[in-house]
Amino acid sequence: MRLNDVAYQYWSQPSREHFMALREAVMASANYSPNISPNEVASAAFTEGDYPTVIRQLRSLLPGALLSPGLHNLLATAYNELGDKENTLREATMAKTVMDGILLTGDGSREQPYYVLSIQDEYDVLGFLGKQSQRQTLVHDQDQNLDLHICEDQSWVWFEVSSLIVLEGK
């Protein structure tokens, strides 16, 4: 099934199953990278207040960063700075829908970790949850690779990153 079809399924009927299918389709896209950081890509243009360039740079990361809540939040900010209310609302809605999808994948426990597509997504989730990581540790557990974040409030939040490590090694 094509990426657009899988995306439509998730956007129209958000569920864990549809999100995981969309996740797989995004990972198969030609420009997907687990190392991408939308913040880094657009940092200089944001600093200069060059919002059309910010939008161009961030949109060039699609479809590989389609499930990055941070990318959609940055796009919403850039569109807002340009006074484009329609695109601001669309991107803010996309950011929330993507975050909701990530949260559908688990509960952040070791037994049910969140599934993300990049390390930056981990920090986006932590920020959304109102948590700040004090320490991040990669844990190899049988057939899984998990990122553990020990947060300032002493809570632990787990992320499943096995597929990110496999792709990174290619």
Within a 13 Å sphere around the CA of 104, how many CA atoms are in the beta-carbon half?
A: 18
What CATH number matches the domain at 3-168, 1.25.40.10, 1.10.730.10, 1.10.3720.10, 3.30.360.10?
1.25.40.10
Q: Over 80: is that where the pLDDT of 169 sits?
A: no
pLDDT of amino acid 168? 52
Separation CA 89–CA 79 (nearest Å): 9
pLDDT digits (tens, 9 = 90+) for 53-93: 999 999 999 999 999 999 999 999 999 999 999 999 999 99
Separation CA 60–CA 70 (nearest Å): 15
Q: Are strands 133-141 and 114-115 parallel, antiparallel or unpaired?
A: unpaired
pLDDT digits (tens, 9 = 90+) for 20-60: 999 999 999 999 999 989 999 999 999 999 999 999 999 99
Separation CA 156–CA 150 (nearest Å): 5
Separation CA 122–CA 124 (nearest Å): 5
pLDDT digits (tens, 9 = 90+) for 136-162: 999 998 888 999 999 999 999 999 998
Rg, the chain, Cα only:
16
CA dihedral for 86, 91, 94, 96, sign (positive or negative) = negative
Q: Whole-angstrom distance between the N-terminal and C-terminal Cα of the chain?
A: 24
At residue 35, what is the residue type? N
Q: How confident is the model at residue 170 (pLDDT cuts 50, 70, 90)?
A: very low
3-state secondary structure the chain: CCHHHHHHHHHHCCCHHHHHHHHHHHHCCCCCCCCCCHHHHHHHHHHHCCHHHHHHHHHCCCCCCCCCHHHHHHHHHHHHHCCCHHHHHHHHHHHHHHHHHHHHCCCCCCCCCEECCCHHHHHHHHHHCCCCEEEEEEEEECCEEEEEEEECCCCEEEEECHHHHHHHCC
Q: Domain locations in the chain?
A: 3-168
